[in-house]
Amino acid sequence: MRRAYGKRRKRGLLESPWLIPGLAAAGIVGWFGGGHAPEPSSLMSLATFTSSFSKCTVASRTCVIDGDTIKISGETIRMLDIDAPETRQARCASELERGNRATRRLAEILNSGTVTVVKRGSRDVDQYGRSLRVVMVNGRSAGDILVAEGLARKWSGQRRPWCS
């Protein structure tokens, strides 16, 4: 008789049991201001990175997939505060063009300072297994910057068309 095993979801970087010791060992904990570490409960929902972001390729582990999705150390992160135009499944030429602009601009924003990934709300992952996070750069939401520049819109809870 065959035994059935449930499929285990791959643990993301921000869910690692080594996150707190790893941040402490790397000296990143001191970044949180005043040289003191935050409470462990808030640290589990926060991770800080400095890296070089570019458009994703097959081998990329830290990169920009599109205007609202990135990878950090191989973990796919969907920015939960915005909706950006599609690039892979664009429904019209103007959506593709705007999606490409949002993708390029997001890479510029991420490369402009320290990237902080914050877990907010009760939902941890979306239907595609992507971690749902707010992505901050130098303390400001990267999503808010894209919205202010007209390259994305605030997430309303559902996708709306970009083509008129």
Burial of 111 (0-12, 13-18, 19+ CB in 10 A): middle
Same domain, residue pair 34 and 79: no
In a domain, 163, yes or no: no
The pLDDT assigned to 111 comes to 94
Q: Looking at the domain assignment, is residue 6 inside a domain?
A: no
Does a structural domain hold residue 25? yes
The reported pLDDT for the residue numbered 41 is 33
86 noted as active-site residue: yes
Q: Which domain holds residue 28?
A: 14-44
70/103 same-domain check: yes
- Look up residue 104 and give its two tokens: 């390029």
Out of 86, 98, 105, 133, pick the active-site residue.
86
In a domain, 161, yes or no: no
Number of domains in the chain: 2
Q: Do 80 and 20 lie in a common domain?
A: no
Does any domain span residue 100?
yes
18 lies in the same domain as 99: no
CB atoms within 10 A of CB 141: 19
Q: Are residues 32 and 51 in the same domain?
A: no
- 38 and 73 share a domain? no
Same domain, 74 and 120: yes
Residues 27-38: b if buried by 16+ CB within 10 A, e if exposed: ebbeebeeeebe
Structure pTM?
0.71
Q: Are 115 and 137 in contact (CB under 8 A)?
A: yes
Considering the candidates 75, 78, 95, 98, report the single residue annotated as catalytic.
78
> Is residue 97 among the annotated active site residues?
no
* Residue 37 · residue 29 · CB < 8 Å: yes
Residues 49 and 39 in one domain: no
Give the chain's residues under pLDDT 70.
Answer: 1-46, 49
d(CA 75, CA 69) in angstroms, rounded, equals 10
Of the candidates 98, 101, 105, 130, the residue annotated as catalytic is 130
**Residue 78 bears catalytic tag:** yes
**Is residue 49 located within the same domain as residue 92?**
yes
Same domain, 93 and 32: no
Q: Which domain CATH number covers 92?
A: 2.40.50.90
